[in-house]
């Protein structure tokens, strides 16, 4: 079995608070591969996050950041998305399983584009999206103009704000998106969901049912319709005291025991070529606690040797 390929997304320009661009660099410097190895998981960085950091839209493009909604922000994010998509596609083409480490959630528009690039436009991709937020904005519907609120809007074809060159839009179909953990949804996103015919299941709805059974049934349906299932995990899908170093925490998120065993079962039952963990902001309080949680989470989701 090949080692898992870790791919960094060293961009936080999609978020309002700076710092998420340092998430993957923190994991690299703190020895994530060695930590995973201690859990029996073999993983290697497919590229050095510090190399991207020194790239044309690396550090210098982040400090200082232009205002949200400015073309310079979009240009920065677009560059990082393109690099991410190419890297994800290259690793998948070699038959490697990918873990993408962020970085703000705009990255989903690049990582999932990379899956389409590797599999071809005919392939049907399903996404399990663990997040407090549906990230279902278009540039027009977003009040804040934060690009990390738009990846799902772009992937579903609401507009082409975060569309990577070379992919066919829409990358995803609404029925192939499974949201888990939603509890902070904007009016504009509710409108967009309606226009797409999507039913947004809230955290409250999910908790009122049996979480494990409901998710397992939904994923079984998803697997029947899709060629591949990918997993996008925003740390704010979890309760803020579990993963505190994230830019937009929302009370009431998943406790690890509620969802990690379910996700772990899914990655064992189905081939999941891409897992991403996003919105780690190590400049916020609780960075080490959040990093330790990410290690535990990945140790549960990745195959041990």
What does the binding site for Mn ion look like in residue numbers (CB under 5 A)? 131-133, 234, 236
- Strand 177-180: give its sheet, edge to edge: 43-45, 4-8, 98-101, 274-278, 228-234, 125-130, 177-180
Residue whose CB is less far from Mn ion, 91 or 234: 234
Minimum distance of Mn ion from residue 26's CB (angstroms): 19
Residue whose CB is less far from Mn ion, 234 or 258: 234
Q: Which of 20, 192, 7, 154 is nearest to 78 (CA)?
A: 154
CB 171, CB 164: distance < 8 Å:
no
Minimum distance of Mn ion from residue 236's CB (angstroms): 4
CB atoms within 10 A of CB 204: 10
Per DSSP (E only), the strands in the chain are: 4-8, 43-45, 98-101, 125-130, 177-180, 228-234, 274-278
3-state secondary structure of 64: coil
Residue whose CB is less far from Mn ion, 73 or 133: 133
Minimum distance of Mn ion from residue 279's CB (angstroms): 6
Residue whose CB is less far from Mn ion, 236 or 276: 236
CB 229, CB 127: distance < 8 Å:
yes
3-state helix, strand, coil in the chain (%, to 5): 45, 10, 40
Minimum distance of Mn ion from residue 193's CB (angstroms): 16
Minimum distance of Mn ion from residue 251's CB (angstroms): 13
DSSP letter at 197? T
Minimum distance of Mn ion from residue 96's CB (angstroms): 27
Half-sphere exposure of 25 (CA within 13 A, CB side): 17
Residue whose CB is less far from Mn ion, 185 or 299: 185
Residue whose CB is less far from Mn ion, 80 or 133: 133
Minimum distance of Mn ion from residue 92's CB (angstroms): 25
Residue whose CB is less far from Mn ion, 8 or 149: 149
């Amino acid at each position: 079995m090949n080692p898992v390929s870790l791919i960094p997304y060293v961009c936080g320009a999609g978020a309002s608070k700076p710092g998420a661009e340092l998430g993957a660099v923190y994991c690299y410097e703190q020895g994530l591969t060695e930590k995973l190895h201690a859990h029996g998981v073999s993983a290697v960085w497919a590229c050095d996050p510090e190399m991207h950091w020194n790239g044309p839209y690396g550090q210098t493009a982040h400090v200082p950041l232009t205002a949200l909604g400015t073309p310079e922000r979009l240009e920065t994010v677009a560059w990082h998305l393109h690099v991410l998509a190419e890297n994800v596609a290259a690793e998948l083409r070699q038959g490697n399983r990918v873990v993408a480490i962020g970085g703000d959630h705009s990255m989903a528009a690049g990582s999932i584009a990379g899956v389409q690039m590797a599999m071809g436009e005919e392939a049907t991709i399903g996404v399990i999206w663990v997040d407090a937020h549906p990230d279902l904005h278009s540039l027009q519907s977003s009040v804040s103009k934060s690009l990390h609120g738009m990846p799902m809007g772009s992937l579903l074809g609401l507009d082409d704000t975060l569309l990577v060159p070379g992919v066919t839009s829409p990358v995803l179909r609404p029925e192939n998106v499974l949201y888990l953990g939603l509890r902070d949804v904007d009016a504009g996103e509710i409108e967009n969901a309606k226009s797409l015919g999507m039913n947004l299941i809230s955290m409250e709805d999910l908790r009122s049912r049996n979480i494990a059974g409901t998710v397992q049934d939904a994923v079984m349906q998803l697997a029947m319709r899709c060629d591949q299932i990918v997993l996008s995990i925003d740390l704010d899908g979890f309760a803020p005291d579990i993963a505190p170093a994230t830019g937009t925490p929302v009370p009431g998120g998943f406790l690890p025991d509620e969802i990690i065993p379910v996700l772990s079962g899914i990655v064992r039952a189905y081939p999941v070529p891409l897992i991403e963990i996003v919105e780690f902001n190590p400049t916020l309080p609780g960075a080490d606690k959040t990093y330790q949680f990410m290690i535990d989470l990945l140790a549960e989701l990745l195959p041990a040797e």
